[in-house]
Structure 1
Amino acid sequence: MGKDYYKILGIPSGANEDEIKKAYRKMALKYHPDKNKEPNAEEKFKEIAEAYDVLSDPKKRSLYDQYGEEGLKTGGGTAGGSSGSFHYTFHGDPHATFASFFGGSNPFDIFFASSRSTRPFSGFDPDDMDVDEDEDPFGAFGRFGFNGLSRGPRRAPEPLYPRRKVQDPPVVHELRVSLEEIYHGSTKRMKITRRRLNPDGRTVRTEDKILHIVIKRDATPDNIPADIVFVLKDKPHAHFRRDGTNVLYSALISLKEALCGCTVNIPTIDGRVIPLPCNDVIKPGTVKRLRGEGLPFPKVPTQRGDLIVEFKVRFPDRLTPQTRQILKQHLPCS
Structure 2
Amino acid sequence: MGKDYYAILDIPKNAEDDQIKKAYRKLALKYHPDKNPAPEAQKMFQDISEAYEVLSDKNKRVIFDQYGEDGLKGGVPTGGPSEGAGGFPGGGFPGGAGFSGFPPGATFSFSSSGPGGRSGFQPREAKDIFEQFFSSFGGSGGFGDDDDDMFGRARGGMGGFPRSSMGGMGGMPGMGGMGGMPGGMPGGMPGGMPGSKFRQQQSSSSSSSSQQQQPSSGQKPAALERTLPVSLEDLQKGTTKRLKVTRKATESSGRTNEKILTIDVKAGWKSGTKIRFPREGDELANGEIQDIVFVIEEKPHETFMRQGDDLVMNLELTLVEALTGFSKSVKTLDGKTLPISASGTRVIQAGQEERFPGEGMPISKKPGSKGDLVVKYKVKFPTQLSASQKDSLKKILA
Question: With structure 1 as the length reference, what TM-score do the two structures score?
Answer: 0.46
**Based on CA coordinates, which of the two structures has the bigger radius of gyration?**
2
